[in-house]
Amino acid sequence: MTDDRCFDMSKSTETRMPRSGCGCPRPAPELAGIPTAANADSTLWGMAIVRLFASARDAAGTGRDELPGDTVGAVLGEARHRYGERFDAVLPTCRIWVNGEPADELDAIGSADELAVLPPVSGG
Give the CATH number for residue 99.
Answer: 3.10.20.30
* Domain annotation covers residue 16: no
Within a domain: residue 74?
yes
How many residues does this entry show for the chain? 124
pLDDT at 38 over 70: no
**What pLDDT sits at residue 103?**
98
| pLDDT value at residue 73 | 97
- How far apart CA 115 and CA 5 sit, in angstroms, is 40
pTM of the model as a whole: 0.64
Backbone angles phi, psi at 110, to 5 degrees: -145, -170
Whether 17 is covered by a domain: the verdict is no
Task: Tally the domains of the chain.
Answer: 1
**Does residue 57 surpass a pLDDT of 60?**
yes
Q: Residue 9: what pLDDT?
A: 57
